[in-house]
Chain A
Amino acid sequence: MTEPVRTLVVHCPDWPLTALGVAPSDPVVVFTAGRVVAASVAARAVGVVEGQSRRPAQAMCPEAIVLERDEVLEARRFEPVAAALSDITPWVEVQRPGTCAFGVRGPFRLFGSEESLVGSTTATAMEALDDTLGTGAHPGCRIGVADGPFAAGLASRFAAGNALVVPTGGTPAFLAPLPVEALERPDLADVLVRLGLTTLGSLAGLPVTDVAGRFGSEGLVAQRLAAGLDGRQLHVVNQPPDLAVGMDMDPPVDRIEQVAFAARSLAELFQDALAQRGLACTCVAVEAETGHGERLVRRWRDEGPIGAVALVDQVRWQLEGWLHDSPAVRPSSGLVRLDLIPEEVVKAGSRQVGFWGGTTAADERAGRALSKVAVMLGPGSVRVPEWRGGRDTAERFALVPFPKEPVDGLVGGSTGLLSPSTDGPPWPGMLPSPAPAAVHSEPIAVEVVDADGRPVLVDGRGVVSSEPAWVFQGSEAGFGVASWVGPWPTDERWWDPLRHRRRASMQVVSDDGMARLLVQEGGCWKVVATYD
């Protein structure tokens, strides 16, 4: 499990209102599909809340100006802010118009301290907001810094003044008193409140197995978020590059409708390429290049997989902002190339924060039964295999305790199960297939002797001193060696004095037909595996 990444979130409060040019003092309510999505400070003061339907909102605040939401405008107005923040770090991710995030680690080195980073970010964002919307026509921005994007987002939301910096390691304490509604999972929050678990701290304090048994995968994810263990990476760059799709446009296009038209076919190609590999994309970089070599890259992230339609919207928002910007920033020529690059992919059919990447009813049922057994027998009694790699049959898979920490499901990540024969790197010196069916968790010490009763040893050149004839286990009766193969010496990590291992392995078939894998290390023989 990855450590929570220290994250900075820039949040512009009431962005749907700000983007429409509403001053905070005007009573304005923004609707979409008959529900309040944003209400100005004046409207909230008389009791209008988000999610309310149109009639009660208008009854509470009859003088309110009612506006429809304009997401294109929101994205276009936010684009200059995101562009300005790219001067601080190139890894700015737009979570949605009005909110963007980036990892603290990189720019931290440049600015030296989090205070100066927060100061510069605020100044940059405010300047961009002033330029776009006019000084005083916006409520500014809030900045939150915490361990993990989830906590940082909440910190920005709850920042009393301009910024809230949660000290390193203080994230669980910051999250503990917040209400469970902050998880933005209304159904789950509803149940939790009825069970008396009103704060994130009370959810975080429950035993993991109980949460898994009662709420399944969603509960585990929520609990990890509540405990401040948000292992989500902000960006992952080691993705297979062949999943990126791009298209050249000749003649260059400069109208947004044309770009959107081109983006639609490109988005379908992109989705097809991912779907063929059973993947879905949760973070995509949209890269556009003009005839004069100007480039604009923007990253978009969604909690779940990004669909083709959403992808077209994002391309449209991003480029609309760019193409309609002030003449100084606007590209001087039409677009000649558009690329869609998946920055983070997950297994399809699972959300980014999945549970073994599985969502079938059988998986959930099995998960519950195994959680129940884990409760009965104590932690660590139920284990599931995890691919690790290695030359040793005992090393290649580790058995890790269940319930496993929910994994990001990142393909190629340390937690993804990969088939050993196809995806693993080569391990020279590894014993070839077939592998032994029983790998002894505690190797059995044995003595190997030749026909005359002398101990058999393997010398530094990997040659046996004499032919093995008998194997004895302590004082007990042993077995006769019918045939044997080897020895194969391995000299592992010779550069590391602490982990250096020098061994010789040998396959021995006993006279009853059972084959065993024997390893000599430091002059002692052990049965490490049986070909049962």
Chain B
Amino acid sequence: MADPEPFDDLPPEERPTPESTTLSPIRPVPTLAEVTRLVRPTTLAAEQVLPVLPALVDLVPDGLRRGSSLGISGPGARSLTMALMARATSVGSWATVVGDPDLGMVAAAEAGVALERLAVVAPPEPTAWGDVVAALVGSIDLVVVAPHHRVGAATVRRLMARARERGSVLIRIGDGPWPERFDLTLAVVDTSWEGHGDGNGRLQLRRVEVLATGRRASFRESRVVMMLPSPDGSPAPLKQSDSG
């Protein structure tokens, strides 16, 4: 029986030519810097960010870092979450909300969320919660969770490892306990509605103060005052003249 050709299974253009199998002695030796440049992945998942609306630039100056976790709490947490989702969904990212069936779709649309890329998942049983969120993290860019139970530390570490690997952002709404520290915590600390009096007018805008605290040493704690929502429903920066 004849020996099979070694590259029989390759298409003709991929079969090595006899010349290329011999070593060429005059090939230039690359420098170490060149090798480093060649073997480095073009972009690390963690280097990429999801964009945010201009109104939120003061709060998250670099956008939502992929692979990070956010905790959003305080009155107006839902509005703030919608505002964070708005820009990313309108440029093609998907967002999913797990465990908050009451999220107002009209408000989301007014905040600028592209509803065609938003899905709402019913609250799963505590035992299935980790698997459900893990199925979403990695395929969906923005995964918003509002767990109704105490989430285990192992589950969260597994989710965050997956999020870092696949470039998703995990956002948790609510004030309850969370076993890990968030990369970024946004807390609405002060709110006041305007545009109404006793019996007349209507709710027009809400002035909020958001406190942002980060885990990284480079992150400076910041307080931002903004309109959330502004009279047309979208988040807007508060002009200097309005803040007095």
Considering the complex, give the chain B residue whose CB is closest to the CB of A378. Answer: B122
Residue contact B141 to A438, C-beta cutoff 8 Å: no
Interface segment among B26-34, B54-62, B89-97, B150-158: the answer is: B89-97
Interface segment among A40-48, A183-191, A429-437: the answer is: A429-437
Determine whether A384 belongs to the interface, using a CB cutoff of 8 Å to chain B: yes
Considering the complex, give the chain A residue whose CB is closest to the CB of B191. Answer: A513
Determine whether A360 belongs to the interface, using a CB cutoff of 8 Å to chain B: yes
**Complex: A369 Cα to B141 Cα, angstroms:** 11
For the complex formed, measure the closest distance between the CB of B168 and the CB atoms of chain A, giving whole angstroms. 10
Residue contact A485 to B120, C-beta cutoff 8 Å: no
Instruction: Mark out the residues of chain B between 102 and 156 whose CB falls within 8 Å of any chain A CB in the assembled complex.
Output: 102-110, 115-122, 124, 128, 131-132, 135-136, 138-141
Instruction: Mark out the residues of chain A between 456 and 490 whose CB falls within 8 Å of any chain B CB in the assembled complex.
Output: 464, 467, 483-486
Determine whether A393 belongs to the interface, using a CB cutoff of 8 Å to chain B: yes
Chain A residues, CB < 8 A from B107? 393, 434-437
Considering the complex, give the chain A residue whose CB is closest to the CB of B138. Answer: A369
Determine whether B11 belongs to the interface, using a CB cutoff of 8 Å to chain A: no
Instruction: Mark out the residues of chain A between 348 and 405 whose CB falls within 8 Å of any chain B CB in the assembled complex.
Output: 356-358, 360, 362-363, 365-366, 368-370, 372-373, 376-377, 380-385, 387, 393, 396-397, 399, 402
Q: Which residues of A contact B (CB under 8 A)?
A: 356-358, 360, 362-363, 365-366, 368-370, 372-373, 376-377, 380-385, 387, 393, 396-397, 399, 402, 417, 419-421, 431-441, 464, 467, 483-486, 507, 509, 512-515, 529, 531-532
The majority secondary structure among interface residues of chain B is mixed
Residue contact A421 to B110, C-beta cutoff 8 Å: yes
**Complex: A227 Cα to B103 Cα, angstroms:** 35
Chain B residues, CB < 8 A from A532? 75-79
**Complex: A486 Cα to B94 Cα, angstroms:** 38
Residue contact A435 to B122, C-beta cutoff 8 Å: no
**Complex: A437 Cα to B76 Cα, angstroms:** 8
Q: A435-B104, A439-B104, A464-B199 are in contact. Are A417 and B193 (CB under 8 A)?
A: no
Residue contact B135 to A373, C-beta cutoff 8 Å: yes
Chain A residues, CB < 8 A from B199? 464, 467, 484-486
Determine whether B63 belongs to the interface, using a CB cutoff of 8 Å to chain A: no
Q: A434-B107, A436-B104 are in contact. Are A356 and B116 (CB under 8 A)?
A: yes
For the complex formed, measure the closest distance between the CB of B103 and the CB atoms of chain A, giving whole angstroms. 7
Determine whether B179 belongs to the interface, using a CB cutoff of 8 Å to chain A: no
Residue contact A382 to B121, C-beta cutoff 8 Å: yes
Considering the complex, give the chain A residue whose CB is closest to the CB of B76. Answer: A532
For the complex formed, measure the closest distance between the CB of A415 and the CB atoms of chain B, giving whole angstroms. 11
**Complex: A372 Cα to B139 Cα, angstroms:** 11
Q: A435-B106, A437-B107, A515-B193 are in contact. Are A369 and B116 (CB under 8 A)?
A: no
Chain A residues, CB < 8 A from B109? 397, 419-421
Considering the complex, give the chain A residue whose CB is closest to the CB of B173. Answer: A532
Chain B residues, CB < 8 A from A417? 115-116
**Complex: A157 Cα to B140 Cα, angstroms:** 44
Residue contact A362 to B92, C-beta cutoff 8 Å: yes
Q: A433-B110, A485-B201, A532-B79 are in contact. Are A376 and B128 (CB under 8 A)?
A: yes
Task: Give a binary string over B201-222; 1 marks a CB under 8 Å from any A CB, 0 the rest.
Answer: 1111110000000000000000
Residue contact B122 to A377, C-beta cutoff 8 Å: yes
Tier of interface size on chain B: 35 or more
Chain A residues, CB < 8 A from B120? 382-385, 399
Determine whether B181 belongs to the interface, using a CB cutoff of 8 Å to chain A: no
**Complex: A432 Cα to B231 Cα, angstroms:** 9
Residue contact A440 to B121, C-beta cutoff 8 Å: no
Residue contact B135 to A438, C-beta cutoff 8 Å: no
Determine whether B200 belongs to the interface, using a CB cutoff of 8 Å to chain A: yes
Residue contact A369 to B136, C-beta cutoff 8 Å: yes
Chain B residues, CB < 8 A from A436? 104, 106-107
**Complex: A433 Cα to B104 Cα, angstroms:** 13
Q: With A434-B233, A509-B193 given, can you name 8 additional A-B contacts, CB distance below 8 Å?
A: A373-B135, A382-B121, A383-B122, A385-B115, A437-B79, A438-B104, A440-B102, A513-B193
Q: A385-B105, A439-B104, A484-B199 are in contact. Are A433 and B232 (CB under 8 A)?
A: yes
Chain B residues, CB < 8 A from A439? 102-106
**Complex: A4 Cα to B103 Cα, angstroms:** 34
Chain B residues, CB < 8 A from A370? 96, 119, 121, 136, 140
Residue contact B93 to A513, C-beta cutoff 8 Å: no
Residue contact B205 to A483, C-beta cutoff 8 Å: no
In this complex, which of A380, A417, A531 has the most chain B Cβ atoms within 10 angstroms of its Cβ?
A531
In this complex, which of B96, B121, B206, B231 has the most chain A Cβ atoms within 10 angstroms of its Cβ?
B121
Determine whether B15 belongs to the interface, using a CB cutoff of 8 Å to chain A: no
**Complex: A351 Cα to B201 Cα, angstroms:** 48
- Pairs A-B, 3 closest by C-beta atoms: A369-B139, A397-B105, A434-B229
Residue contact B206 to A531, C-beta cutoff 8 Å: yes
Residue contact B102 to A438, C-beta cutoff 8 Å: yes
Instruction: Mark out the residues of chain B between 67 and 92 whose CB falls within 8 Å of any chain A CB in the assembled complex.
Output: 75-79, 82, 92
**Complex: A377 Cα to B133 Cα, angstroms:** 12
**Complex: A166 Cα to B100 Cα, angstroms:** 47
Q: A377-B124, A513-B192, A531-B193 are in contact. Are A396 and B119 (CB under 8 A)?
A: no
Q: A512-B75, A532-B77 are in contact. Are A366 and B203 (CB under 8 A)?
A: no
**Complex: A484 Cα to B202 Cα, angstroms:** 9
Residue contact A433 to B231, C-beta cutoff 8 Å: yes
**Complex: A372 Cα to B103 Cα, angstroms:** 22
Residue contact A362 to B196, C-beta cutoff 8 Å: no
Q: A434-B230, A437-B107 are in contact. Are A397 and B92 (CB under 8 A)?
A: no
Determine whether B197 belongs to the interface, using a CB cutoff of 8 Å to chain A: yes
Residue contact A435 to B110, C-beta cutoff 8 Å: yes
**Complex: A365 Cα to B167 Cα, angstroms:** 14
Residue contact A381 to B122, C-beta cutoff 8 Å: yes
Determine whether B47 belongs to the interface, using a CB cutoff of 8 Å to chain A: no
Residue contact B122 to A484, C-beta cutoff 8 Å: no
Chain A residues, CB < 8 A from B115? 385, 387, 397, 417
Contacting residue for A366 out of B117, B132, B206, CB 8 A: B117
Residue contact A483 to B103, C-beta cutoff 8 Å: no
Residue contact B141 to A362, C-beta cutoff 8 Å: yes
In this complex, which of B102, B122, B192, B229 has the most chain A Cβ atoms within 10 angstroms of its Cβ?
B102
Chain B residues, CB < 8 A from A369? 135-136, 138-140
Residue contact A531 to B128, C-beta cutoff 8 Å: no
Considering the complex, give the chain A residue whose CB is closest to the CB of B81. Answer: A437
Chain B residues, CB < 8 A from A402? 119
Determine whether B198 belongs to the interface, using a CB cutoff of 8 Å to chain A: yes
Q: A513-B75, A513-B192 are in contact. Are A434 and B203 (CB under 8 A)?
A: yes
Chain A residues, CB < 8 A from B116? 356-358, 384, 417
Residue contact A434 to B198, C-beta cutoff 8 Å: no
Considering the complex, give the chain A residue whose CB is closest to the CB of B75. Answer: A514
Residue contact A397 to B140, C-beta cutoff 8 Å: no
